[in-house]
Every structure is written in structure tokens, then in C-alpha cells.
Chains A and B, each alone.
Chain A
């Protein structure tokens, strides 16, 4: 959630039931301003909180040039000292993160061992061989980085038109964005995923008749599988505020005030994917 309208955004996000206590709010807001200043970020956002048994992780990110490509993530345990999250590349770590059963503890240097699922070798519909499940050593800091990346990829939302692709390929927040209007708010195809597009540009463009190259390059949330079940959209506060909650990552909440440029997402949860989603409708 953007730091520029921090407390206002917090109020809007309260429809998930959770928010920050006054001390946390003051600490985080001010320390993030300091962090933005230190790093010369042009945009600074609070990403959310991941509940851990001892101490909670607070995550923030900022960007300088491109708000999709060069985001830098930070985490903090004490809400005012921010450390850079490591960049995780190994697919093993991601695999282990999605499979880890234990909740976060709150100690970044903690090492856990995660048993991956066994792999099956299948020839002609018959299981030929089962490999022993691999055990991966997982550092909590890396796990945190991986889970933040996964959650952002899968359910960070922005309204259509909030991000703008410049002619040089950079993506920046659209200064001209005036918000969605009455007719558009409750349509899921007017919300996009806040990530580098995975679909082909043509696919994304052809979804709408009034496509706009610098805006419609992002994937929309109505195409997230399971179709129509991945997000729950609600109108609140005299239907002037749209709140989208992710059903896949419970705790991810997005708000957008209609006909205003204010929007943002925040994750307040325990970093557990809702694997039962398909059975829950």
C-alpha cells in the first residue's frame, strides 16, 4: 500500500478485520519514509505482515525506475529497522516454501528441513518409479523472500489504468489515473495483477474491445485460475469503496476508492496458501 496515503489506505483496508495498532502504524510509516529517503525510491509501499509465532515480519517494497521490474523488498521484525530481503532464484527453495508445514517463527536465521513431495515417474498411465522425497534445507529468510514473491505474483492487484507502460518499456504509476467509475467497479476484468505479465500481450489486449497498449498489457484478475473463484469482490462504504480479497491467499486485501487514484493492497496473514480452494465453493 502506498505510503502517500498510508492511514487513509489503512482505514480502507480494515474490511479484512485486521490493521495495525497505533504504535505499529507510527513506527512503520515514519521508518518507511526514512527508508525511502535513504534509498532514493520514487515509490514506497507497505506490503504487509506475515504472522510468525514469536515476532511478526513486516514487509515493504520500493522502486526507483520501474515499479514492476526493480522492486526492492525489505523486511523488519521490530517495525523500524528494515533489511533487504534476499533474492531467491533456486526453484528448490520455492518448492520447499510452498510445501513447508510449519508456520514462521520470527527468526530469519532459523534453518528448517522441509521434505518435498516424492516425484513419480509415470509411463503410460502407470507409476513406474517413486523417488524418495528430497529434504531441502530452508532458511527462514529465504522462505520469507520466496513467500512474498509468490504472494505478490499470484494476488497483488491494481485497478486497470493505474500502471502505465512508457514508450521505453518502463512501467510507472499512471499519474493521469482518475480511478474506475461506477460502471466498472464491480467488474473483475477492470482489475489487473500487479506483476510482470505472464500472458502474451496479444492475449491481454484482445480481451477487451477498447484496449489500450500502455495500460492493458497486464494480466487481469478474471483470468486467474480457478476462474471466477480466485478473488472475492465487495463494495463497501456506500458502495464507494471496492474491496477485493484473494481466496487463494487469505489475508490479501485490495482496496480502491472509486473515481479516485487511491488504491492499494496489503497482506496480513500467516503465509499459508489456501490449498482447499477448489473444495470450498
Chain B
């Protein structure tokens, strides 16, 4: 019997597998069968039949099994039978889970199907994981969740739309015909023409372009050197820079680099503004600065605040028992208390920032988090921001408006911090081989500033300049200059360049003061004091009754008048000049300030690129290949420290508010008589309310009594 059943079993299984792979037409035929079986509702098969509503992949085999059972049922009757047991086993496996609504049979057949279809390697090792994957994917079958019902917006859609918008494609809407589209193209063409025109006008300034503005070309070198932004982004960057470039107030822009932030990184572009833009901004800035640098008392926006009537809960005029005086007298009386302490405005003086177009603010910087956004211009940098940013080390967040929480307190938001960082990095890490850049000659300088030159003459003079000034030595010894590319620079072999001695700094050094041009604080202070004295005198004449005593520290701003009267007192602070050698870069933290690398060590000798990496600002690179020398920064914006940054400690609590001897006045304790007088006064004060109070108490008592009565009731 056993043997027989086994044979039967094997036979049945093969037959069922035969049924398992029927042509689709067969299944169609089978369907009526199923329906019939359902109508029969035989107790044995009911469980099996109800499971036919599972996923489409299993219905075929299910159908086969069902038909199988149908046929078998006709053949055999006795319960101890392998077919019956098979059916029972299948029924067990097909039991629906009350939680998920799945059954094991479907699941196993899904798994087997997946294994056969996909043939994953070593599937037995990951069987649990595989099975879980299969189930997970089954849960997300689109049949169960109709696409119209719930469609989650794809994550990438938002970004894709923004990118498309930023490219300003000439969309032709459905209403518009082709002519409209052509018009659009025509406009584009015009725009390009305009751009060309503009460039022609600015051709005089073309001379002063000292950098390569073509990012994609540079990207090639960056790729060779082993640092760059992503290849996908570079085209977008080129587009974005093009958008910026076409802005009328921008003359030139170049890619400065990238600073990582925690949530997003900044792409930074260094731009030179047009002369007109600088002038208009200068005018605005000069007014603002002058106002700011005026002594506090002289500022116009300063309004007199009314004195507070009193401080604290109440001030008693006169002596104890003042209530006895009539009101008229009380009004004349002065309180015996000390004067109301007023908030004194302390003049907080700052070294004035440099004007746009000179010193630290020679270039403006534009940043963007993602290349399809609009460029945001960073504010100008003030010396104080530079100084404080040297004492702190923060992560940039990627949000320009976020606060910089630090000690010492950074004066500004993250955008100011970023701007200060950019200034410092630029000043520290922009280098070029000796002779690559040259200073401007006087004529060029004049032309650069746009003074007294007619458009027509300009070009001629340029040529003259170039011919005349070749051997001239009348270069201005000034740190705050823009350098020009030396046309006569000859590419040197990389061997001779691969030492810091052969390189010079090409951006002006920022002094400890936070400026490029030293600002004489003491002189400025004296001048401010003088101005203040004059101003006060004037006011004194105007309003005789006003009393003034002012010893506040006040500053006035006097830019550019370095060669003033009394220079002898303080030496101007000096730093390394603009074309000083990189070999002198020394700091206690960094033993080797520059790393020298070549793109290829063993092969391709002809096309090697030399890279100078800054150790002081990790992430700053400069490469040179024949006549192309460019610097870029890609990093976190942190200066190198051998171990950790020597942060300033918070001051002791007592030091935060310094106080002199007069701040604490010792007073003797009241005498016995005074205490007695006080007590007497207190008593007299309490007398009147006392009688009233008694009445109230009585009333309360009565109330209580009545309440008690009611409770008794």
C-alpha cells in the first residue's frame, strides 16, 4: 500500500507539474471548472477553491491543482489516500494569514518563480532575506494600489523641474504657433548680440582679465589633477555662471571653488563688478560709512529717549510719613533715592571696512547652494569679521542666514562668516610662479580706474603703454593692487617649479587688523575727537543750556589720507607684500606649507600638470600647465591645526562686568532711633486700614457662621 501510494504520489506530482505549465488557452478552459466547483461547495475542496483569488502568477498553477483535485475526486473515494493528503497539505499551506492576508503557498511559489527567473547567486545563504524581499515587493504590487489613487511624487521630480526652469528654455506653449517660437529664438539671438556688444564696450577691461573663466576647460585640468566638482555639475555650473555673467553689473566672473557645509555646500564665484556698478555702490557705501563712523553724539538717527519716570515698584519722595503732605508739595519734592541709573550707550568702534573695489572687497562673491538656484551676492567683509573669524572654527550649515554661535561672538550671520573665510583663503592660497603676474603700470592703473581717457584714444595708448612700459620700473609699491598677467611669461620646466621658492603670492595679504591697507586707528581717533569737539562747540553755541561732558572713545574715518600730519607715533602694521615668495610661508602649526604633486609620476612626461596644495588651508590647490595657472578651493573652510584649535576661553564671570570702587558704596546700619522712627511710621500707616480690616473680618466671620449653619441644616 505504501509503495503504491508513493508511486501514486510521484506520478501525481509529475502530472501536476504537467498541468502546471499548460498553454494559456488551457487555463481559460479551466476557469468554468473552477466556477462549477465553487458552486458545488464540497466540504473537502472549499478551502482550496477560495484561494484562487491570489495573484495572477499563481492562478495558473492553482487552476492546475484545482482541476487536479477535481479529477482525482472523481477517481478515488477512500480518505486514506495520497491525493487527499496532498490536498490537505496544500490547503494548510494556502491558509490565509489573518494579519496580512497572504498565504504560504503563494509566497513559496513566488519565491520559486523569482529564483528561477532571476537566478540570484548563493540564494540559499540569503534565503530569509530573499524571501523577505519577495514579500515586500508583493505588498507593493501596483494592482493593489491603483496608480490613480495614490501616486507619490517622485523625489527627483522637484529637482528636475527646478533645473529645467533655471535653464530658461524657450518653451512653446500649446496656444503659441511656430512663429511665436521663432520670435523667442529671435529674442535669444538678440540677447546674444547684446552680450557681444557689451563685451565690445568693455573691451578696455578685457585687458584686466587675469583668470580663466571657462569652467569646462578648467574642468579638464582639474580632472587631470585629481580634484574637481562632479562631472555632471560642471555643465550646470557653466550655465549658472553664464547666467551671472550676463547680468549688466558684472564684468567678469570666475569659479572660486566650493566650500562644504553640513546640509548643503556652497558653490562660489568670484566676480568683478563693472566700473559703473562700483561707483554707484561706492557712493552709497561712503554715505553709510561716514554716518556710521561719526561720533555717537553726532549721528542723525539718534533720538533722545525720555527718562523713565521711576524705577522699581515705587519711590517714596521725602522722608517717612510723606502721605501727610498735600499733593502740591509732594509734586515739588524730589525723591531721596539716588538717580535713576540710565543705560549708557557705549560707543563701539570698528575699523571701517574697505570700499568696494579695493582691498578685501576688491571682488564680490556670489554663492549658490544648488547650481540651478539664483546667485546670491555675499555682503562686504569688515575688518572685525576677519579678525573674529580667525579666532573661531565653525561648520558652515549651508544656510546663509543662519546664526554663527561662537565665542568670541561673530559679528554677523553665516554669510558674513563665509565671506570672511573666502577672503582669508584667497589671500593665503593664491599663488603663481614668479613672473607669471606683473604689477600694473601707472597708465594701466589709470585706465583701470577709468579716469580721463577717451574711448578712442584708449586702445592706442594701450599699445603705447605696452611698448613703452616694457622696461619701466615705475611700478607702485602698494599691496592693494590687482595684478596683470605677464604676457612675456615663459613656461618653465616643471622641475624648476616644484619648489615653493619658485612661487609667489598673487593676492594681497590681509593684515592682523583685518584690512589690506593699514588703517591708523590712533590718528583716526584723534581726528574724531577733534571733530566731536568742534561739533559740540557748535551745539553749545546753538543751545547754551546744554551741558556736555564727553570723553567717549570716538573714531572718525579717514580713508586714503595716509600721508597725514603726525605719523611718528605708531608704525603701520606690515605683512608680507603681494608678490612675496611662498618659501617664506611659515607657521608654527604647519611645518611644510605647500605640498607639491604631479599628476603623473611614471608616464606621460609631456603633459604633466604640477599641483601645489596648501597645507595651511587643506583643500586649496593651484595647478600650472604651461601658461595656465589657476587656483581653486574645495574643502571645508577650516584652517589646519596640528591638534586642535586654541579657542579663546570664556572670561571669568566676574570679569564680564568690571566695576570700580565707587560701584559699591558701603552704608552704615540704621541706628536705633531710625529704626524706632520707621516702626512708628509703619504703625501709623497701618492704623487706618486696620479698622476697615476688622470690619471685613467680622463680615467674614458672619459668612462663615452662616455657612456652618447651612452645613448643620
Interface on A for B, CB 8 Å cutoff? Answer: 11, 14-24, 27, 51, 53, 56, 78-79, 99, 101-103, 161, 164, 166, 172, 174-176, 178, 182, 212, 214-215, 232, 234, 236-240, 245, 247, 250, 269-270, 272, 274-276, 279-281
Contact = CB atoms under 8 A, between A and B. Distances in A.
A174 B228 CA distance: 32
B618 A21 contact: no
B394 A280 contact: yes
A238 B230 contact: no
Nearest to A182: B155
Given A17-B227, A101-B642, A280 B395 contact: yes
B451 interface: no
Nearest to B264: A234
B645 interface: yes
Contacts of B602: 23, 27
A215 B132 CA distance: 12
Nearest to A22: B224
Q: Which of B125, B163, B232, B263 has the most CB of A within 10 A?
A: B125
A276 B260 contact: no
A276 B645 contact: yes
B479 interface: no
Contacts of A164: 125-126, 129
B129 A214 contact: yes
Interface of B: 120-123, 125-126, 128-130, 132-133, 152, 154-156, 159-160, 163, 223-232, 258, 260-265, 392-395, 405-406, 591-592, 595, 597, 599-604, 613, 615, 618-619, 634-636, 638, 640-645, 647
Contacts of B641: 276
Contacts of B645: 276, 279
A160 to B, nearest CB: 12
Nearest to B132: A212
A176 B163 CA distance: 34
Given A21-B226, A234-B265, A238-B160, 10 more contacts: A176-B126, A215-B129, A232-B260, A236-B230, A250-B638, A269-B618, A272-B642, A276-B641, A276-B645, A279-B406
Given A18-B226, A164-B129, A176-B120, A245 B395 contact: no
A175 B122 contact: yes
Contacts of A21: 224-226, 599-600
Contacts of B230: 11, 14-15, 236-237
A281 B618 CA distance: 20
B52 to A, nearest CB: 30
Given A276-B393, A281-B395, A270 B133 contact: no
A182 B140 CA distance: 14
23 contacts: A19-B227, A22-B223, A24-B226, A53-B591, A56-B597, A101-B642, A101-B643, A102-B591, A164-B125, A166-B125, A176-B126, A182-B152, A214-B129, A237-B230, A238-B156, A247-B395, A274-B638, A276-B641, A276-B645, A279-B392, A279-B393, A279-B394, A279-B647
A178 B140 CA distance: 15
Given A17-B619, A53-B595, A232 B262 contact: yes
Nearest to B133: A176
B134 to A, nearest CB: 10
A174 B129 contact: yes
Contacts of A27: 602
Which of A176, A236, A245 neighbours the largest number of chain B CB atoms within 10 Å of its CB? A176
A234 B263 contact: yes
A95 to B, nearest CB: 14
Nearest to B602: A23
A280 B230 CA distance: 27
A17 B258 contact: yes
Given A232-B263, A238-B159, A17 B595 contact: no
A126 B85 CA distance: 81
A16 B129 contact: no
Contacts of B393: 276, 279-280
Contacts of A239: 155-156, 159
A14 B155 contact: no
B264 A51 contact: no
B512 to A, nearest CB: 22
Contact of B229 (A17, A22, A53, A102): A17
A232 B263 CA distance: 7
Contact of A14 (B163, B228, B406, B600): B228
Contacts of B601: 23, 78-79
Contacts of A276: 393, 641, 644-645, 647
7 A-B pairs closest in CB distance: A17-B634, A21-B226, A275-B644, A23-B600, A101-B642, A232-B262, A238-B156
B229 A14 contact: yes
A185 B475 CA distance: 58
A212 B128 CA distance: 10
A81 B133 CA distance: 42
Contact of B260 (A16, A172, A175, A279): A16
Contacts of B638: 250, 274
A252 B615 CA distance: 18
B410 to A, nearest CB: 13
Contacts of A237: 230, 232
Contacts of A270: 618, 640
Nearest to B395: A280
A51 B614 CA distance: 12
Nearest to A247: B395
Contacts of B163: 238
B120 A18 contact: no
Contacts of B392: 279
Contacts of B129: 161, 164, 174, 176, 212, 214-215
A222 to B, nearest CB: 15
B644 to A, nearest CB: 4
Given A78-B601, A239-B155, A176 B130 contact: yes
A279 B601 CA distance: 40
A185 to B, nearest CB: 8
Nearest to A253: B260
Contacts of A78: 601
B159 A19 contact: no
A16 B643 CA distance: 22
Nearest to A270: B618
Contacts of A161: 129
A80 B359 CA distance: 48
Nearest to B634: A17
